[in-house]
Amino acid sequence: MATWAVIPVKSLAQTKSRLTAVLSPNERAALTQFLLQRTLGVLATSGVVERVVVVSRDTVVQQMATTYDALTLAESSTAGLNGAIQEGARLAAVAHAARLLVLPTDLPLLTAADVRTLANNTSPQAVGICPDRHEQGTNGLLLPAPVDFPFQFGEGSFQKHMMAARYGRLTPQIMRTPGWQFDLDTVEDWDMYSADTCSAWHRAADGSLMKWFCPVPGTAD
């Protein structure tokens, strides 16, 4: 059963705006690149995902994606987040994907085992939904393809995706693991994550970000 993953990524100049209070624009761009690289590594070692589509208009993001043999797609200028995902889903459908995995890049605790657990515990006619730790947003969706599914990523998306699954006569199956539940989006998230010594940023004397302490692949089972 061929599973394709779709990863939407904002322009590096606009990424992680909610972390403006703690990270500079260059730091936020570096963080997004790190998380994208890590996510691509996790998917590559999961043994579940056949192909990955990175949807982004950012050329640096596209170049990074191609180093992991991912396909790239520049979304239309008016697509927005959910429109970008729909465009990636259409590409997967044309390629005859049997299942579609949609996920963001900002899941720093996600492992290959988390991806396998979701795949192995989602029935063919079900939608696997991974809520965030607040049970408000959605950090992962696994659904049969092709399917006319209204992606609702954004505020309150967990309940919206639950309702969309039922409306489409698909069974919602909820997956909760630390890797799927923790997303790095707000200052509170950053404080929680950077408190872990394995995920601390190293800063120079002038306070600028220098490097990440943890190994980049981050694909531990």
- Residue 193's pLDDT is 85
Q: pTM of the prediction?
A: 0.88
In a domain, 70, yes or no: yes
- Statement: residue 206 has pLDDT above 70: no
In a domain, 217, yes or no: no
Which parts of the chain fold into alpha helices (H)?
Answer: 25-46, 59-66, 80-94, 112-120, 157-167, 178-181, 187-194
Give me the CATH number covering residue 173. Answer: 3.90.550.10
pLDDT confidence tier of residue 207, bands split at 50, 70 and 90: very low
pLDDT, tens digit, 9 for 90 and up, residues 29-60: 999 999 999 999 999 999 999 999 999 999 99
Q: Across residues 84-110, what is the average pLDDT?
A: 95
- Residue 196's pLDDT is 65
**Domain range for residue 9?**
3-212
- Residue 78's pLDDT is 79
- Statement: residue 204 has pLDDT above 50: no
- Residue 129's pLDDT is 98
In a domain, 187, yes or no: yes
In a domain, 161, yes or no: yes
- Residue 126's pLDDT is 96
DSSP string, 68-88: TT-EEE---TT-HHHHHHHHH
Count the Cβ atoms, other than its own, within 10 Å of residue 112.
Answer: 22
In a domain, 219, yes or no: no
Alpha carbons 83 and 8: distance in angstroms, whole number:
10
Q: Of 59, 56, 39, 73, nearest to 179 (Cα)? A: 39
- Residue 210's pLDDT is 43
Sign of CA dihedral 213, 7, 179, 14: positive
In a domain, 218, yes or no: no
pLDDT confidence tier of residue 180, bands split at 50, 70 and 90: very high
Alpha carbons 61 and 104: distance in angstroms, whole number:
13
Alpha carbons 36 and 180: distance in angstroms, whole number:
15
Q: How many domains is the chain built from?
A: 1
- Residue 195's pLDDT is 74
In a domain, 148, yes or no: yes
In a domain, 207, yes or no: yes
